[in-house]
Structure 1
Amino acid sequence: MTCCKPVAASKRSHLMLSLLGALIGSSLLSAPAAAANFPITTEQRDTAGRVAQAGVPLSELSPNAPDSHTVKAGDTLWHISSLFLKSPWRWPELWGMNMEQIRNPHLIYPGQVLLLVKVDGRARLQLAQNLGGATASSNVRLSPQIRSSAVDQSPITSLPLHLIAPFLNEAVVFDSDALNQAPRIVAAQEGRVLLSRGDVAYVRGDLSQAREYRLFRQPKALLDPSTREILGYEAGYLGTAEHTRAADEQKLPDGKTREVPATITITSIRQEVGVGDRLAPIPPREFTSYAPHSPDKPISGQLVSIYGEALTAGQNQIVALNRGARDGVERGHVLALWRAGRTVIDTTDAKRPELKLPDERHGLLFVFRVFERVSYALILSVQEPVKPGDAFSQP
């Protein structure tokens, strides 16, 4: 299977030029070593340079944008961005001030005070420290300063990671039906039909690749809603298991041998496990900064399925999209959800013509996992339940 590159490495990651980059300034000189994982590219600095002098038109601010905001534990970049901007993914437009001091625009810490400065019809965000009575309306240049305080030193995340963390290793699409050739459970301890945490099972197949494995149900094909093309094979996640004893052979009196399957122990469970379920090695945990951003070119498609067994989905649920890395989808993309317009009869016209009402935008998606032809997205907001076949586009 193929995933897109991490957001931090993407050449198109204008996303990382967050509005919050303008706020950090020299305070990041004392940031932890994790900052090195998010280098600033030449393209990002160029983008920042273009807006450094101009700021953002006041018309692009949220109608209720506050004059200041104190970062709190539990805040996310998405939440803070939405406080100040109509479109939270347009972060570069508030980034660029004090560029000579900025080292990393990706780490924001609880306790920092963000100040919205409005001058000559434009707006900028700055880090407010020891203002000495200055206010948002004062024409005073505010310089970030290093400070020491007993605040939580963990940087805030881009968005609530607890909503997608369980799916980073669970939502898996295989480019082919290779899982059919993967190791499989052939028998259970004491003849049990269904297994739970702590139970022992027996496996045929090559388990030499790892010690820890994910357990999957037989994969199902994901079909494009329009073309019916097979986009990949989604495997239902069941849990994890540990390889505890290698396979062996039993020698029989007649000189022949009989296979002794390997042994696994179920270590965690999301659904009950049974004979016929498949194993795949657990990949390294992904620690990517998920910063929302708009696609840099037009993109559109449809929802393929709702993750799990639901027929419709609402806010904070996971959906599969019929676009992937080959279509330019990136981890962090924000996409608009559309509700198809109804077909109605014009009863005011004697001829009673049939009319197609326009499609209406009614929600937002956030892409967090990308495969070659399929992506998984979190529903950030939605007015009505969504279903497979519903359309999406760039916001």
Structure 2
Amino acid sequence: MKNFSTVVTRAAALALLACAAAAPVQAAERCAFRPNAPDQHVVVKGDTLWDISGTFLQNPWCWPQVWGMNRDEIRNPHWIYPGQIIYFDRARGRLSLNRPGSGDDAGMPPLTKLSPQVRTESLERNAVQSIPAGMIEPYLTQPLVVEANELAGAPRIVASQEGRVYLGTGDRVYVKGNIGAGKTFQVFRPTGPLKDPQTGKVMAHEAAYLGSVTLDRAAAPGVDAHTFRVTETRQEMGVGDLLIPMPPSPVRNYMPHAPAQLVDARVMSIYAGVSYAGQSQVVTVNRGSVDGLDVGSVLQLYHLGKTVADPASKGVFSFRKPQIKLPDEQYGSLFIFRVFRNVSYGLIMQVTAPVEVGDVARSPE
């Protein structure tokens, strides 16, 4: 947000704290309050809306419904700050910044006027975050996952200033390939394929982020390479490394919600190549925007139910006995924060068991 604000922030507060509209019975059950929910919670620095909601709700991702937010308000700050008290209005089944029964305007915080000298960015910095944003910052802008179609057509570095093997900030590089109208690019190196656990198909490639380059001069007629200048280096880059356009500024104010359509995904990889992951770690899933996922989608995590021999049946060998498929076991939730066409990044929220590659990630029941 670049403009100064002189308006009253009452509209944002209304969006946050209004009573939730009537919802289907299934959604109401899904967003039920905890039986032991406290009467109030004092917001402290470091709280997130997910944490606060988990104090009151059985499913923390349901906070937009009990605070009356809608999907279009994802770009608005949430306007809750350390030091405020959140009350549970049991009679109305909602959360409030005013003590229940304190007046007709009980759900509303006092009006806050902003002087022309105060930028709205300062309010956003001080407001309570939706999720632990620090956990996902590296994954918002770096091309740690590159889809197959992007890899096939990616421009590549074909030569460097004075034939240097490794490049540093300020060095010139020469790039061949279609750069379109782009000016700033990220440089990456593929490190391995990401295969769909269900089909074995390569869905995308993991990539190491090396740095960024900026266009100095596009290729003139009769010249095959564009001239770029290195603007940042994170790792050694050189001839053969690939370019991808700099992504747009990421959404940082996330609103959790169930996907618009039923999603049945699998955990495809765990960052850093480890076998197991826990809370606040990042995984990729084999579904993306074409499957109905968008930023803020919440999926439930399951371990696949095992198939076991029926112990009541007769027979010496277990493989000859009738087999029984056990149910999948739900053990946590996954918050989708970056979406590509066919794959997505998810932040592991509450889990009661380790996450493994191949685990199920489904729309909330």
Q: How does 1:183-198 map to 2 (within 5 A)?
A: 183-188=155-160, 193-195=165-167
2:296 is aligned to 332
Instruction: Give CA deviations for 1:2-37 in whole Å, capped at 9, x if unaligned.
Output: xxxxxxxxxxxxxxxxxxxxxxxxxx973399x5xx
User: Against the structure 1 CA distance between its residues 373 and 240, is the aligned structure 2 distance closer, same or farther, given a 3 Å change threshold?
Assistant: same
Q: Displacement of 1:308 after TM fit?
A: 4.2
1:277/1:311 Cα in 2 relative to 1: closer, same or farther (>3 Å)? farther
Shift of 1:96: 5.2
The count of aligned residue pairs is 330
For structure 1, the 5+ residue unaligned runs are: 1-27, 98-103, 250-256
2:54 equivalent to 1:82: yes
Contact 2:267 2:284 in 1 (8 A): yes
> After superposition, what is the alpha-carbon deviation per residue over 1:61-104, rounded to whole angstroms, capped at 9, x for unaligned?
2244221112223222111111110111223553359xxxxxx7
Hey, what's the Cα distance between the residues in 2 that align with 1:296 and 1:323? 13
Q: 1:225 aligns with which of 179, 191, 197?
A: 197
Three-state SS of the structure 2 residue aligned to 1:186 is strand
Structure 1 counterpart of 2:80, one-letter code = I
Q: TM-score, normalised by structure 2?
A: 0.73
Which residue of 2 is the match for residue 31 of structure 1? 9
Deviation at 1:292, TM superposition (A): 1.5
Among residues 76, 94, 100, which one is paired with 1:124 in the alignment?
94
Q: Distance in 2 between matches of 1:157 and 1:275?
A: 41
Q: Distance in 2 between matches of 1:236 and 1:206?
A: 20
Q: 2:233 aligns with which of 247, 268, 282?
A: 268
TM-score (norm 1): 0.68
Match of 1:234 among 195, 205, 212: 205
Paired-residue identity, %: 38
Query: Could you tell me how far apart the structure 2 residues matched to 1:145 and 1:280 are?
Result: 45
Please say if residues 187 and 203 of structure 1, whose CA atoms lie closer than 8 Å, have aligned partners that are also in contact. Answer: yes
Partner of 1:246: 217
> Structure 2 vs 1, CA of residues 213 and 260 (structure 1 numbering), >3 Å: closer, same or farther?
closer
* Cα-to-partner distance string for 1:41-79 (whole Å, 9 max, x where unaligned): xxx99x93437xxxx89x932244221112223222111
Contact 1:214 1:237 in 2 (8 A): no
Distance 2:291 2:37 in 1: 35
Question: Which amino acid counterpart does residue 212 of structure 2 have in structure 1?
Answer: A
- AA at the equivalent of 2:137: A
Query: Paired residue for 2:342?
Result: 373
Whether 1:112 and 2:84 are equivalent positions in the alignment is: yes
Please report how far the alpha carbon of residue 277 of structure 1 lies from its aligned counterpart in structure 2 after TM superposition: 0.8
Alpha-carbon distance, 1:114 to partner: 1.1
Q: Which structure's relative contact order is higher, taking Cα pairs within 8 Å and 6+ residues apart? A: 1
After TM superposition, the structure 1 stretch with the greater mean CA deviation from structure 2, 108-117 or 203-212, is: 203-212
Summarize the Cα distance change of 1:349–1:196 in structure 2 as closer, same or farther, 3 Å threshold.
farther
Rate the CA distance shift 1:258–1:383 in 2: closer, same or farther, 3 A: same
Aligned to 1:48: 20
CA contact (8 A) 1:209 1:281 kept: no
Give distance in 2, aligned partners of 1:281 and 1:160. Answer: 27
Name the CA distance, whole Å, in 1 between partners of 2:40 and 2:282. Answer: 34
Which residue pairs with 1:298 in the alignment?
A: 262
RMSD: 4.1
Contact 1:315-1:379 at 8 Å conserved across structures: yes
Contact 2:190 2:208 in 1 (8 A): no
- What amino acid is aligned across from residue 41 of structure 2 in structure 1? H
Larger Rg: 1
Compared CA separation, residues 196 and 312, structure 1 to 2 (3 A): farther
Shift of 1:159: 0.8
**2:131 aligned with 1:159, yes or no?**
yes
Q: Deviations over 1:289-332 (max 9, x none)?
A: 21222235432121222344334433222222222222222221
